[in-house]
Structure 1
């Protein structure tokens, strides 16, 4: 993956300022970010660059430098956008049926939505690998993942649980789901991932049956 070039460095950033938070500038930034995230989901991280991102967004790399602080910033925000899409889809699936009152039922409802996000999931796992290969430059991509996912998982836990218990169960559920999704992406073993997921659901049912 290439996220730098001569034009992408400090001199380019010095020449082009980011949008300063005006409504029009922010709307344009979001539009560009959605297009770049779409490209990442379709084509993955290999060979990512400002110029590739600009082609996907139908603009120039100079315009991207106006709205983002270089290639690394754009990549980080595009990955965050893909994570948001994944969680939004999962939460929507969990909330769609009023019968999904228990944590186990909500997680079960979210599982098909998570599995459908195969393209985006592959990119997100590639991002973890990128962070492992170059932690000084990209480590934040991996470190922030749990922070971004955890609030959504906490929101699915019973409201009458203590904060500590909600955190423990949410962290366990999140780690298990991420592991299963990584296995699904890397091996394609849907049957194995589903079997592991059923074990997770049973663990959640036991946790809820234990009461407060």
Structure 2
């Protein structure tokens, strides 16, 4: 962590802390104390608790896109899709995923400080997933459609998993989606 700017260090520490503890019922002051800083420093760098949470979601999403990039080319389209899904369904990510859906809902309701999430919540994934589809032989148009559908299915199944805890059922649904995607490549 040496050499990183203070904002970056605080963000990474906050991601790790909230992954361990969750965000429910936590104040900015409590989080600052957990991070060994003051709430004023968090406000200075992130503007508000909501601003910090949006940055945390952005960071976690960026890490997931980096993981996708690492998987690309490491197997068949089916293997890549299943490996990526296994990553999303790692219970260690559940706190971050709950935070994502919480903030997404707040942003849709126009809660101040959260609306910055909306412009990129889908579009940040479309480029990398479209490129992945094209690398699997899809046309630009079909790859873009598949990318949007993939985001929607993945998020829907993650929400289902967080609500029901039924990993077997969501895995079966994702398996069906992957089979349909692979069939579209033929």
Query: TM over 0.5: same fold?
Result: yes
Distance 2:18 2:38 in 1: 17
Say whether 1:36 aligns with 2:11: no
Write out aligned runs for 1:7-156 (5 A): 27-92=5-70, 94-95=71-72, 98=74, 100-102=75-77, 104-116=78-90, 117-132=93-108, 134-137=109-112, 138-156=114-132
Distance 1:130 1:84 in 2: 20
Higher deviation after alignment, 145-154 or 32-41:
145-154
Distance 2:167 2:98 in 1: 14
CA-CA distance at 1:206 after TM superposition: 1.4
CA-CA distance at 1:60 after TM superposition: 0.6
Distance 2:171 2:154 in 1: 11
Larger Rg: 1
Structure 1: unaligned runs, 5 residues or longer: 1-23
Say whether 1:200 aligns with 2:177: yes
Match of 2:141 in 1: 164
Match of 1:184 in 2: 161
Shift in CA distance, 149/101, structure 1 to aligned 2, threshold 3 Å = same
TM-score of the two chains, using structure 1 as the length reference? 0.74
Higher deviation after alignment, 115-124 or 143-152:
143-152
CA-CA distance at 1:90 after TM superposition: 4.2
Distance 1:120 1:135 in 2: 21
Shift in CA distance, 131/43, structure 1 to aligned 2, threshold 3 Å = farther
CA-CA distance at 1:28 after TM superposition: 1.3
Shift in CA distance, 171/122, structure 1 to aligned 2, threshold 3 Å = same
**May I ask how many residue pairs the two structures share in their alignment?**
180
Q: CA RMSD in A?
A: 2.2
Shift in CA distance, 180/41, structure 1 to aligned 2, threshold 3 Å = same
